[in-house]
Structure formats: C-alpha cells, structure tokens
Amino acid sequence: MNEESLDEWKKKWKEAIEQADAVLALSLPVFWSSLIYSSQLLRFIDSFLNNFPRRWEADEMNLYINSDPSVRLLVVDLYERMLLIILRAVVYEEDKASLSEEFYCRVIYDHKIFTIERLFDIINVYCTSNIAAVSSILERTIRIQNKYMNDADNYIKTSIQVIDTVAAEFSKLSRPPFEESYGDRITSLLSMIIGLFEAFRIFLPYCSSEIRRRFSTSLSIRFLTFDFSVFLQATSEFTVFFLTRFILYYFFLVWNG
C-alpha cells in the first residue's frame, strides 16, 4: 500500500470510528429505531464484518495487525467499538429505557437485525478475541428465538456445499503437474475450512439436537470425499499443523453432533 492509499485508508477508518461513537451515543429508543426502521446502521455493521480479514486470510490480517502502529491502533479502536454496537443490539434494557422481551425477540428476527449469516460473521471476527461476548450474542438470539432453527438448517446445507467444493479442489490439487504455489493453496484451503469448523464448534451447541445430528451425518459423509494424498505432496510444518487441526475439529464436530 503506497503512502497516498494508506492516508486514504486511515481517513476512512477514522470516519468509521467517529460514526461508531455517534451510534454508541444514541439513546436506547433512537438506537433501536435506527436498527428497525433504517438499513443504514445494519449496512455499517455488515460493511465492517464483511471486510475485516478472517484468521485464514494471513496477508490481509498481517496488513491490519502487524504493519504501521497507527494502522493497528485504528483497527483495534474500530474493532472494539463495533463489538460494543453489536452487544448493544442484544440488550433491551438500558438505564431507565427498555423494550419488552417479547418485542425484542420478535424484531431481531422479523427485521433481520440478526441473521444466521451475520451471526457467523460475528463468530469469525470475534471468537478468538472475545468468546464471552460471542456466547452472549448467541444466547440472546438463536437461543431464545426458535425461528432461527430453519435458517440455521439452510445455512448448514450451504456450508456443506462449500465443503464439497473444497474437497473437489483438493482432488484437483492431488493430480500432477503441481503448481509452484501448491503448498500455499493447500494451507489456504485448510485454514478456511478450519475457520468454518471453528465457527460451527461455537454455533452448534445453540442449535436443536436434530440440526446437530444432521450436520454430523453430512460431515461424516463429506469426510470420505477428501483426497488426503494431496498432503503427501506438501509436508511443510504449516500444512501439517493445519491438517492436524482440521482432523481434530472434524472429529469433535462429528462426535458432538
């Protein structure tokens, strides 16, 4: 990133921090009105969640966390503020203002304040740094609103398709000629799947036993489609590390289905 691009990036993040501070300063009724009746606040949240690098996106994460100290400071400031905004969205009592629990349970689903996709984004962005906050968000959403179960089932089906795609990619990579970036591609795919497994490890305990069992069965079948000969061609310590984690997470999810 050149100096001009870096300055523009910093400017946008400073503006986002100012916007986050303004949201946090809203009274509870105004905050909830913004969530329910305007799409702007949810777009702001989604923009951050969608663009913040995942743990398996090493280059992007390194740019955010391990580069210029001023960049890191901005990243941490916005990262923390966005979590506070999300946590505020699972609170319906604040000082002297409050919403009824019945109203809260209805609007978080009917107005798509929390969707399964958004919850998984929250897990992926925050589970490493603040699992307690993530658990609180899940407790205050899918644990108390049963309508999420059908959405969770559909999301699982989509995730299984992603696993199928990765399995096909592994099969393709196992056949010569091997590309120069062969090992990096394997590590990238493995870390992506591990990220998915980690998210499900956190998410599934809040789902019904039927959904957990269905996911476990689907995962067991998909595991048989992986061509593990691909790893014999790329035995770097990183690949072995990610493969070990992949297998451990796989068996954890299957056994706890």
Report pLDDT digits (tens) over 155-175. 999 988 888 887 777 777 666
Q: What are phi and psi of 55, to 5 degrees?
A: -60, -30
In this predicted structure, what is the pLDDT of residue 56? 64
- Tell me the C-alpha distance between 114 and 7, whole Å: 33
Report pLDDT digits (tens) over 59-89. 666 666 656 788 888 989 999 999 999 999 9
In this predicted structure, what is the pLDDT of residue 5? 77
Report pLDDT digits (tens) over 76-134. 999 999 999 999 999 888 777 788 889 999 999 999 999 999 999 999 999 988 999 99
Nearest Cα to 222, choosing from 141, 162, 176, 173?
Answer: 162
In this predicted structure, what is the pLDDT of residue 42? 97
Mean pLDDT of 20-43: 95
**CB-neighbour burial class of residue 254 (10 A; exposed 0-12, middle 13-18, buried 19+):** middle
**Tokens 């593990």 belong to residue:** 228
pLDDT above 70 coverage of the chain, percent: 75
Q: Long-range pairs for 217-224 at CB < 8 Å and ≥24 separation? A: 217/257, 218/156, 218/160, 219/160, 219/163, 219/250, 219/253, 219/254, 219/257, 220/254, 222/160, 222/163, 222/164, 222/167, 223/250, 223/254
pLDDT above 90 coverage of the chain, percent: 44
Q: What are phi and psi of 102, to 5 degrees?
A: -60, -45
Per DSSP, 206 falls in state: G
Report pLDDT digits (tens) over 209-224. 999 888 888 877 666 6
In this predicted structure, what is the pLDDT of residue 132? 96
Delimit the domains of the chain by residue range. Answer: 3-144, 147-256
Of 4-8, 175-179, 182-186, 248-252, the poorest mean pLDDT is in 248-252
In this predicted structure, what is the pLDDT of residue 238? 44
Instruction: Round the average pLDDT of the chain to a whole number and report it.
Output: 82
- Tell me the C-alpha distance between 173 and 185, whole Å: 9
